Amino acid sequence: MSKAATYDPNDVTMTVDSIYLTGFSEDMIEIEKAENNYETKVGAQGDVVRTKVNNPLATIKVTLLPSSPQVAYLDKLANSGKLVPVSVIHAGTPKETTTATEAYVVKPATRSYGNEAADREYEIQCLDIDMQ
C-alpha cells in the first residue's frame, strides 16, 4: 500500500466577506500567526516557566493573477478599512480550516506593468485567527 499523499491546489478555497477568491497565482496563500502560542523562560537557578501567549493576530498573504475578478474588490476593501470575515479551507488530506471573524486588507496591491503580467499580493490582518 502506498503512503504517498497527493496535494491538489483545487482543494483550497478562500473567502473574504463571503466572496470566493479566484484567479490565484502560483504562491496562492500563506498564513502566519503573529507570535508563538507559548514562550519559555529559564530562571537563574534553572527553574522553567512556560507562558501561554494569547495573541490572536495573524497575517494571511494571498497572491492573485492581475486578471482575477477579485482584484478590484480587494483594493476597494483596502481603501475602505472595513472589517470582514475571512476563511481559508483546505478540503484535502489533512483537512485544515483557518477563520477570522474580523480582518481587514492592509493596503491595495502593488501595481507593476511590464512585458509580463505581475501578480497582485494582498496582506490581510486577522484580529481573531482560529487555525484548526
- What are 37-76's pLDDT values in tens digits? 999 999 999 999 999 999 999 999 999 999 999 999 999 9
pLDDT of residue 2: 72
Mean pLDDT over each residue of the chain, to the nearest integer:
95
Q: Give the Cα separation of 95 and 22 in Å (integer).
A: 20
User: How does strand 24-33 pair with strand 48-52?
Assistant: unpaired
With a pLDDT cut of 70, the percent of the chain lying above it is 99
Residue 3 has pLDDT above 70, yes or no: yes
Judge residue 5's burial from the number of C-beta atoms within 10 Å of its C-beta, 0-12 exposed, 13-18 middle, 19 or more buried. exposed
| pTM recorded for the entire structure | 0.90
Banded pLDDT at 1 (limits 50, 70, 90): low
